[in-house]
Structure formats: structure tokens, C-alpha cells
Structure 1
Amino acid sequence: MTKFTAAASVVLALVAGSAFAADLPSRKAEPVYVPPAPTFTWTGLYGGVNIGYSFGAGGNENGGLGYIVTNAPAGTPLPGGAAWNLPSNINGVTGGGQVGYNYQFNPWLVIGLEADIQASDAHSQSAGAGGAATVAPWFPHSALVNSTKSVDWFGTVRGRVGLTLPSYPNLMLYGTGGFAYGQVVNSFGVNDVYVSPTGPSGVVIGPRGSYDNTNTGWTAGGGIEWTPLPYSAFSAFSVKVEYLYTDLGNTTVSGTSLTSFPGGGPVFAYSHTSPTRFSTIRAGLNWHFNPFAAAPVVAKY
């Protein structure tokens, strides 16, 4: 009995120990939590710089002059005159900066507002001759004209509507348009050349008219913007290529000739109108202050 009792005691002890061990907590390490990658979004504030080139036919400059006889009753008009039509082709480098805000409504629609300011070297220069006119009883005349124009700086405030694809969330195609303003400088000169078959020939000199003011108008265009993915330090940057057509309205200069014909012949008064319209293609670099939405927090219980 003694041997049996001892053996039974050993078996009971082993069974009890196994049961106790089963009740102990597991010592296995918990799995490491890996948060989901942040989600890219166009929503947020951004700012950047750009450089580009302005160009294109801005519409023709046109004007004309009429004659007044100085030795006749005051203000007596003469028939005839001269008219001109000059090409206006603005060209030059532009560069500046922009700030804006986007809001992404869903995976494919982005709406935003952007303002920019540009220094500009865009300018044009043209010259030509007005149609000949015979001013009886004086002599044939022809107006020699020249015009220079520059856009010293300009800016825009525009809305933007962008489209993206869920499969390419970091690529946006957008249209844009809104208000434009800029400093327009226009200088114009005209001289009236006359040829007399019997008397002296010469030039009636006109004053150089000038215009220097801030014009307002509109602009419209579109572009493409891209940012690198996957998530990295460079994903806060985006690059864009953009086209804008800008119309800053018309400028008008006028004046009256500084000299007259021999013997009190006619003087002239002139008016010249010049439109300011141009295209701009530019590349830009933007910094987005918060381009990634925070990953969702998953509660653990």
C-alpha cells in the first residue's frame, strides 16, 4: 500500500501542476502596431514661386489724326487726315510667386483660390505710316508713327477647379480664371510729313503721348499639377505647368502737333488706342503645408 500511495501522490501532483500552468497568462510578445500610411489630399494652404514667358499678338493698335487751319477762323476743320493700324506683339520673361488654398471635396474634385504677383519684362515696339492725305490747298501728307508698350508687373486673383482620379490622387488637371491687374506703360509719337511741289517741304512734329497706369481686366487658362508619391519628405512639394490668357484692356493717348506748316498752315490733333492682351506659359513649384490627412485612430479594448 505504501508504494501505491506514493505513486498516486506523484500522479496527482503532476496533474495539479499542469492545470495550474494552463491558468498562467501567456508570455508571448504582442504584435507591433503598424499605423496605416497617411492619405494624400490637396486640401490645405500652399505657396510657391514661378517663372515663365509672355507672348502673342495682343490685337492691333490703331489711331488717326485730323487737321486744323491756324490762319482760318478758330477750329476750322480740314477734310482728309491720316489713319494707321500697327501690330502689337508683346514678348518677355515673367517671374513671381503665388499663394492659394485648395479644398478636396471627394477623390476627384478639388476647388481652390489662388493669387499671384509677377515681375515682367513683357514689351512691344512697332512703327509704321498712316495713309497719305492731300490737304488742299496745301500738299500731300503722310503720318509716321511709332509706339512702345510694356507691362512692368501684373497679378491675378483666380478660382481653380481641379479634377483628379482615385488611381492617380497626386495628379490634378485644372481650369482657372478670374481678375487681373497690372502696370501698363504706353508711349506713342507721330510726325506729319508733307511734300510741297512749289514750296518748302518738312515735318510737322507731334508731341509724344504717354500712358502709365494700373489697368484691370480678366484672365483665364488651365494647367496640370503633380506631387511625388508614395509618402516622403518631397511629397509636400508639387510642380505645375500653367497657361494663362490675360486681357488688361485698352490704353489711349492723344495730343496736338507742336509745330505748324509754313505760313500758318494746318496743325493736327491725334488719338491712338492700344490693347494690352497676352498669353503666358509658366512653370511653378509649390510647398503644401499639410498635404497628408491624419490616419484614422483605431481604438483597442
Structure 2
Amino acid sequence: MIRRILMASAGAFALTGAAFAADLPSRAPPPVFLPPPPLWTGFYLGINAGYEWSASTGINTATANVFSLPALNGNIGGAVATLATGNHSLNPNGFIGGGQIGYNYQFANSWVAGLEADFDGIAGAHRVGSVGQTGFVPGAAVPIADSSIITWRKSVNYLGTVRGRIGYLVTPTLLIYGTGGLAYGGVNASTGVVEQLGFGDTPSPFGTFGSISSTRVGWTAGGGAEWMFLPNWSAKVEYLYYDLGNATYRSALPQFGNLGTLLETIGVTRTSTHFNGNVVRVGLNYHFSWGAPAPVVAKY
């Protein structure tokens, strides 16, 4: 009898404990915060503006005498070639502006790699320079004066690049990067030579002219910093060095002896210059990565 009473009491106590436990508040596990998607991954489109200036400013012209009648009025061929040779310093520089498009991929939390293409026009980068020279024809029985003016023009009209970029995030919104790749640009250069011999059978000046106008391909390298100041929007400052290589062009054969006079000399003129320069610019980009969403909270 007592045994039955004890068993009934134990069962009632167990039921009471279970009901009491059911009335206690339950403790759910804490929420799990998942990190947001990378902020920098995605396509972007933007504009830029800045300043461009030449790195190599020299332009050089050399004229060689290829034909000259000997001992006639002295060495006219040598005199003509000497005064049609010279050099000058030209620095094409001016405002540069255009647009860019690219893609970034953020990896390992703090690294960003990407590819960018841009195209910029350059305004005010046309430069002109000239040199005047005087001398005498060597070996002439009577002194014969010789004078010349060499005029050069040089410009870079536009510049485009296709570059890789690799950078490190100093903070989640500040990217420091290096960049390099292909560069191309529209270049122009010309050389004009005008000479005058100081005696009567030369009724007018004589000379030559040559030019080049082409799109040249080279390389570029540089670096910069970009700041994501708002979701989808970033601003950058950037430096680039570009090198489009050397260009050489010839002029028509300069010859003395025109308008019925005896042809006494023929020369060949060649000009060379280097197209390279520096670019400093700022830019504004819109990113199609939809900014940085709020952290995702996992529910259980």
C-alpha cells in the first residue's frame, strides 16, 4: 500500500515539474551576423580631368648633303646642310579630360584587382618653336652669306589606355593601387626649313618641309588612390606616365638652284622626336555593385 502511494506521489511530482519547466522563458541562440558582400566588386563608369605635360621635350633635325657641284661658288652643299640642321625644346602640355570604364574584383578581404580602359582628349597641347641661324659659304671666292629659319611643331591630341589595376584597402572605403598596361595616342609633328643665300642668282628663299600625323602605341604605368565616399560613388586621384616611343620623319629634298638657275646642291633632311609624358588627374566613378548592404542576420 505504501509502495503504491510513493509511486503515485513521484508521478504527480514529475508532472508538476514538467509543467513548471514549460512555464519558464526559453533562451534562443544569439543571432549570427554574416559579413556583407565585397564593397568594390563590380563594374563602374566615370569621368576624369587633369593636366598633361611632355617628359621628353627635344626635337632634332639633321640635313645631309647628298649632291653638290664641286668648287662652284664654294661648298654651297655643306653650307645648306649645316644651316638646315638644328634642335629645339618643345613641351606640349595642357588640359586633359575624358572618361573611363572598368571592373573590380575584391578578394582576400583587403585586395582589389581590376581592368580599366579610358580615353581622353588633350586641349592646348600644340607647341611651336623656331631657330634662326646665319653663316657663310666656305670656299667661295667672294663671301656669300647663308641664313636659315627652322620651325618645328609638336602635339599630342588624345590619349587612351587599357590597364590592369591591383590595390590594397587601407580601410574598407579607401583603396591604394598601382596600374599599368597599354597606351595609345594621336601625335603630330612637323619641320619646315627656309634658307636664303645672299647673292643675286637666288631670287627667292628655298627649303623643305616634312611632317608626321599618326596614332602611336606604347605603354603606361602609374598609381593612385580611390575613396568610396558614398554607396556606389567613389573619387580618385591618379598619376600616369606614358611612352609612345620615338618618331622619325623625312622632308622633301631641299635643293638650291631654282627658277632657271643651275642646280648646285641637293640634301636630305630627317627629324626625330620622342612622344612621352605625364598625366595627373582626378576622377569620379559610379559603381554598379549597389553599395554596401546591411549585414545579413541568420534566424533559427
TM-score band, normalised by shorter chain: 0.7 to 0.9
**1:45–1:257 distance in 2 versus 1, CA, 3 Å:** same
User: Partner amino acid for 1:267?
Assistant: I
Show structure 1 runs of 5+ residues with no match: 1-18, 229-233
User: Partner amino acid for 1:192?
Assistant: E
In structure 2, C-alpha distance between the alignment counterparts of 1:132 and 1:292, rounded to whole Å: 73
CA RMSD of aligned residues (A): 3.5
Which stretch shifts more, 76-85 or 97-106?
76-85
Contact 1:204 1:258 in 2 (8 A): no
SS of the aligned residue for 2:180 comes to strand
Match of 1:47 among 40, 45, 48: 45
User: Partner amino acid for 1:256?
Assistant: L
1:176 equivalent in alignment to 2:175: no
Contact 2:202 2:257 in 1 (8 A): no
User: Partner amino acid for 2:207?
Assistant: G
| Equivalent residue pairs, number | 271
User: Partner amino acid for 1:54?
Assistant: E
Match of 1:148 among 149, 153, 156: 153
Per-residue deviation at 1:96?
A: 1.0
Match of 2:6 in 1: none
1:111 equivalent in alignment to 2:116: no
How do 1:186-201 residues align onto structure 2 when only pairs under 5 Å count?
186-196=189-199, 199=200
Show structure 2 runs of 5+ residues with no match: 1-17
Q: Cα deviations across residues 29-62 of structure 1 (Å, max 9, x unaligned)?
A: x9xx997784552222111111111113423111
Match of 2:99 in 1: 97
> TM-score under structure 2 normalisation?
0.76
> TM-score under structure 1 normalisation?
0.75
Match of 2:166 in 1: 161
In structure 2, C-alpha distance between the alignment counterparts of 1:193 and 1:66, rounded to whole Å: 17
Match of 2:122 in 1: 120
In structure 2, C-alpha distance between the alignment counterparts of 1:266 and 1:78, rounded to whole Å: 5
Q: Cα deviations across residues 186-243 of structure 1 (Å, max 9, x unaligned)?
A: 22211123335xx566764223212111111111111111012xxxxx3211001111
Per-residue deviation at 1:181?
A: 0.6
Match of 1:209 in 2: 210
Contact 2:48 2:99 in 1 (8 A): yes
Contact 2:155 2:187 in 1 (8 A): yes
Per-residue deviation at 1:100?
A: 1.0
Match of 2:11 in 1: none
Contact 2:134 2:145 in 1 (8 A): no
Which stretch shifts more, 288-297 or 265-274?
288-297
In structure 2, C-alpha distance between the alignment counterparts of 1:192 and 1:263, rounded to whole Å: 17
Contact 2:38 2:109 in 1 (8 A): no
Per-residue deviation at 1:269?
A: 2.1
Which stretch shifts more, 265-274 or 173-182?
265-274
1:248 equivalent in alignment to 2:206: no
**1:22–1:78 distance in 2 versus 1, CA, 3 Å:** closer
Contact 2:256 2:264 in 1 (8 A): no
SS of the aligned residue for 1:264 comes to coil
Contact 1:193 1:202 in 2 (8 A): no
In structure 2, C-alpha distance between the alignment counterparts of 1:127 and 1:43, rounded to whole Å: 52
Per-residue deviation at 1:297?
A: 5.4
Contact 2:235 2:283 in 1 (8 A): yes
Per-residue deviation at 1:126?
A: 1.7
Per-residue deviation at 1:133?
A: 6.8
Q: Cα deviations across residues 262-291 of structure 1 (Å, max 9, x unaligned)?
A: 543323321111211111111110011114
Contact 1:78 1:135 in 2 (8 A): no
**1:23–1:170 distance in 2 versus 1, CA, 3 Å:** closer
**1:139–1:268 distance in 2 versus 1, CA, 3 Å:** farther
In structure 2, C-alpha distance between the alignment counterparts of 1:64 and 1:139, rounded to whole Å: 22
